[in-house]
Structures are given as C-alpha cells and as structure tokens.
C-alpha cells in the first residue's frame, strides 16, 4: 500500500484528525527539515505529514530547506507526495476559494538549493522534468474534488516566485503572458527534488487571493487568512478521500 506524505503549506501547519504514532526528528545530509515528520493514521491509512513552514508557521518560502524536507520524507518511508499550496489567482477562472491541480510549472525563483546532484559527483545526472506532476496522483485528487463538490481546474500552470514579498502588477502581467494560471512561492524546487528522488508528486493548490492587478482592492493578510480558514476544511476532506481510496 502506498504511503502518502502530505506537505502542508500556509494554513495547514497541522492535520486535524491525524492520530500520531511517532514524531520523527531526523537529521539529513542537508540539515534539519522544517519540522518533525509526523507518522500516524489518517482516514484509516498510514500517512506522513510535514509542515513546510514549520509549526508554528515561521519559515519564509525562500528559506525553507526543501532538500532536507524531501530527503526526510523519503527516509521516513514516503512513496508519494501530496503538496498543499496556497496560491494567488491569475486567470479569471482562478477566483478565491477555487482549487487547481497544476500540470505544469514555471520557476522564477533564484538562489535556492534546487538539486541533490551537486558537489563531488561520480557523474552528471539530468532528470526528465517535462511533466513535473504525477498524472495518476492528479487524477486521484480530481476524483476527490468532484466527490466533495469543490470547484476546481483539472490543470493549470503554476508560476513560482521568490517571495517573501508579493508580486507587482507588472510581474503578474508578465506571468500571465508566459501562460501562468496561478502564482505561489513554494512550488519549486520542491517538485523537482521529488522527481530526483523518484517520488510521485502532485500539488493541491487553493486560491486564497487574486494576484496583483486582478482585483480593485489591496491584497491583505487578513483577507488571505479568511480564505484559508474557509478553504482548509475542504482541503482536509479532499485529502481524507484520497487516503481512504
């Protein structure tokens, strides 16, 4: 049976309903992960959980130790990863509260440790990243979203920015021209590191605000937090369906 690991982002620093059997404090060749890896049972199934930004939420996107996080999950027995991401909506369909299962990603980040293949290597390794998200896992998430009656897009392009600041109107306009549907700060290098470790990986993205220039009102953390509060119950229901399937 596949052991799923859930990486919780902003708004999901803990998984209500998870019966914890162990909190794994792991050291890795890349340092400490953001938080202990929690092993337990959720929806009747063994699951691993890791808070991407720590618990409490304290690590900004550009300082997350993505390599340590992915390595720790693999060492803990993860066979597939569901990443939960709070994002901004660029395309009109991506309104607040909408879900997106991205099928592609564009990386606008810089300076992040983005690969395991560096240093004194025996040989150079290139991984195929043509299709960054696992199709089978995306289909399972889509089925769960349908069953929960959630409005969602079965595909989309995730634009990953450096953060921690939000984007300018001009940057979002550029990203829209590039074909991005949603914008976030944590999609990379997480996705490619999972690929390097041969872990199937999919993103469950919840839109929590219109991106810059896509609304007549200022983006505020208060509004984002309200959207997170309203959406995380549905996120957890979707995860429970996938795990129980």
Query: What is the rounded distance in angstroms from the CA atom of residue 22 to the CA atom of residue 1?
Result: 19
Instruction: Note the pTM of the prediction, 2 decimals.
Output: 0.92
Q: Which two tokens stand for residue 170?
A: 């001009």
Which among 46, 33, 43, 54 has a CA at the least distance from the CA of 4?
46
The confidence score (pLDDT) of residue 41 equals 85
DSSP symbol at 168: P
Tallying the residues shown for the chain, one arrives at: 245
CATH number of the domain to which 141 belongs: 3.40.50.1580
Is residue 186 annotated as involved in ligand binding? yes
Query: What is the rounded distance in angstroms from the CA atom of residue 245 to the CA atom of residue 240?
Result: 9
Is residue 211 annotated as involved in ligand binding? yes
Q: Has residue 124 been placed in a domain? A: no
Is residue 173 annotated as involved in ligand binding? no
For residue 229, which phi and psi values (nearest 5 degrees)?
-60, -40
Q: Has residue 179 been placed in a domain? A: yes
The confidence score (pLDDT) of residue 15 equals 63
Query: What is the rounded distance in angstroms from the CA atom of residue 28 to the CA atom of residue 193?
Result: 14
Q: Which two tokens stand for residue 235?
A: 């996120």
Is residue 165 annotated as involved in ligand binding? no
Kindly write down the DSSP assignment for every residue of 22-83, as one continuous string.
Answer: EEE---BTTB--SSPEEEEEETTEEEEEEETTTTTT---GGG--HHHHHHHHHHTT-SEEEE
Q: Has residue 33 been placed in a domain? A: yes
Q: Which two tokens stand for residue 239?
A: 């995860």
- Answer whether 25's CB lies under 8 Å from 36's CB: yes
Query: What is the rounded distance in angstroms from the CA atom of residue 108 to the CA atom of residue 93?
Result: 22
The confidence score (pLDDT) of residue 191 equals 98
Q: What is the pLDDT along the chain (245 residues), one digit of tens a residue?
A: 678 999 986 555 456 677 888 889 999 999 999 999 999 887 778 899 999 999 778 899 999 999 999 999 999 999 999 999 999 999 999 999 999 999 999 999 999 999 998 888 787 889 999 999 999 999 999 999 999 999 999 999 999 999 999 999 999 999 999 999 999 999 999 999 999 999 999 999 999 999 999 988 777 778 888 888 889 889 989 998 898 87
Asked if the bond preceding 162 is cis, omega within 30° of 0, the reply is: no
Query: What is the rounded distance in angstroms from the CA atom of residue 120 to the CA atom of residue 63?
Result: 24
Is residue 175 annotated as involved in ligand binding? no
Q: Has residue 8 been placed in a domain? A: yes
**Structural domain that includes position 72:** 4-116+129-244
The confidence score (pLDDT) of residue 14 equals 57
Q: Which two tokens stand for residue 147?
A: 């069953």
> How many domains is the chain built from?
1
Q: Has residue 122 been placed in a domain? A: no
Q: Has residue 121 been placed in a domain? A: no
Q: Has residue 123 been placed in a domain? A: no
Residue in this structure with the two tokens 């089925």, named with its chain if needed: 143
Query: What is the rounded distance in angstroms from the CA atom of residue 230 to the CA atom of residue 155?
Result: 22
In the chain, how many H helices and how many E strands?
5, 11
Q: Has residue 224 been placed in a domain? A: yes
Is residue 10 annotated as involved in ligand binding? yes
């Amino acid at each position: 049976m596949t052991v799923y690991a859930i990486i919780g982002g902003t708004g999901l620093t803990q998984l209500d309903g998870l019966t914890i059997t162990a909190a794994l404090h792991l050291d890795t060749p890349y340092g400490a992960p953001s938080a202990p890896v929690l092993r337990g049972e959720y929806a009747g199934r063994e699951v691993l959980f890791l808070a991407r930004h720590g618990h409490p939420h304290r690590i900004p996107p550009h300082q997350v130790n993505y390599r340590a996080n992915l390595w720790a999950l693999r060492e803990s027995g993860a066979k597939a990863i569901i990443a939960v991401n709070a994002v901004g909506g660029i395309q009109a369909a991506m309104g607040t509260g909408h879900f997106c299962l991205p099928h592609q990603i564009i990386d606008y980040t810089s300076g992040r440790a983005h690969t395991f293949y560096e240093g004194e290597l025996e040989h150079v390794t290139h991984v195929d990243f043509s299709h960054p998200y696992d199709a089978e896992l995306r289909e399972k998430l889509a089925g769960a979203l349908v069953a929960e009656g959630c409005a969602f897009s079965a595909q989309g392009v995730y634009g990953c920015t450096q953060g921690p600041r939000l984007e300018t109107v001009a940057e979002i306009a550029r990203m829209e021209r590039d074909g991005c549907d949603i914008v976030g700060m944590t999609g990379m290098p997480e996705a490619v590191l999972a690929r390097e470790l041969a872990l199937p990986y999919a993103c469950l993205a919840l839109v929590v605000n219109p991106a810059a220039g896509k609304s007549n009102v200022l983006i505020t953390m208060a509004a984002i937090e309200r959207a997170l509060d309203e959406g995380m119950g549905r996120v957890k229901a979707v995860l429970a369906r996938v795990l129980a399937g």
